Amino acid sequence: MQQSLKFLSQSRWQDIVEIVSVLSAISGSIASVVTQQALFASIPLSLAVALNLANRKQILNEVKHQQSTILHITRENNETQAHISTLTQQLVEVQQQTTTLSQGTNNLQNYTQSLHNEQAKIAQIVSDLQEIENCNQDIRTNPKAENYYNRGSIYQRLGNLQAAIKDYTEAILINPSYAQAYYNRSLIHAELGDKRAALADLREATKFFFEDGNIAGYQAARDFSKKCHDLSLQTKTNNEEKLSVGCLFS
């Protein structure tokens, strides 16, 4: 900035001197015509030409300097843009790493939750096995229907369906009006695909729930009985349709 001001100041003085020189050259020319002496015109004219050349050289130097400055600024701008591009790329990489870390954290949390769930299942199985052992002791000392029913419900929860059916059957033999034992055994029969046995148990469960005044159990048995009946009709219809189609192509 200071160099530019300095150049402007010098250029202004050079312009003034150049104008004065031109005026002097004109005056010298007039004087040479009047006096018939060329010296009066040549000296001011030479001075004006010299000043003009010096002024033009100064301008060219300043133009070169400005071009160099522009080139330097352009180079710095390119370097800045490259640096910004690098920082942007690094930011993208950091964001990707953050996303990956977040996904890893979520996976770890899910895995931890899965372990907790498995631990809870194992704890429940251990508890059920302990309850079965307690039921075994109760049955040995007092083989009543409730003890067989309790052990049967644990077997059913563990997925040992045949053992559960056996215990529910023992409970029913001891207490033929044991509505809940009939109902639970009907659920197992239905799960095993024996709809006829399931419906037979549901009829008994419905009757004894009603006699016991257990309205909730009565309604549950009726609803499940209707569901099993509808499934049986649907299965029968499908079998009849298959049989009819088979007869057509036989």
Q: pTM for this structure?
A: 0.54
Domain stop point among 86, 101, 119: 86
- Give the chain's domain count: 2
Identify whether 102 is part of a domain.
no
172: Cβ contacts below 8 Å, ≥ 6 apart: 145, 178, 181, 182, 185
Instruction: Give the helix/strand (H/E) hosting 127.
Output: helix 39-141
The CATH number of the domain holding residue 199 is 1.25.40.10
Cα distance between residue 96 and residue 83, in whole Å: 20
My answer on whether 236 and 148 are in the same domain is yes
pLDDT per residue as tens, the chain (250 positions): 555 545 455 556 656 656 666 666 666 666 655 565 555 555 655 666 666 666 777 777 888 888 888 888 888 888 888 889 889 889 898 988 888 888 888 888 888 888 889 888 898 888 888 999 999 999 999 999 999 999 999 999 999 999 999 999 999 999 999 999 999 999 999 999 898 999 999 999 999 999 999 999 999 999 998 888 776 655 544 444 443 333 333 3
Structure tokens at 82: 């490259």
**Residue 127 covered by a domain:** no
Domain-located, residue 53:
yes
Domain interval for residue 40: 2-86
Instruction: State which amino acid sits at residue 179.
Output: A
Helices (H), 142-176: 145-158, 161-174
The distance of Cα 26 from the centroid of its chain, to the nearest Å, equals: 87
Asked if residue 121 belongs to a domain, the reply is no
In a domain, 122, yes or no: no
Residues 72 and 151 reside in one and the same domain: no
pLDDT at res. 240: 42
Asked if residue 90 lies in contact with residue 98, where contact means CB atoms within 8 angstroms, the answer is no
Pair (164, 76) in one structural domain: no
Q: 172 is written with which tokens? A: 């029913």
Q: Say yes or no: 82 and 147 in one domain.
A: no
The pLDDT value given to residue 11? 56
Q: Does residue 210 sit within a domain? A: yes
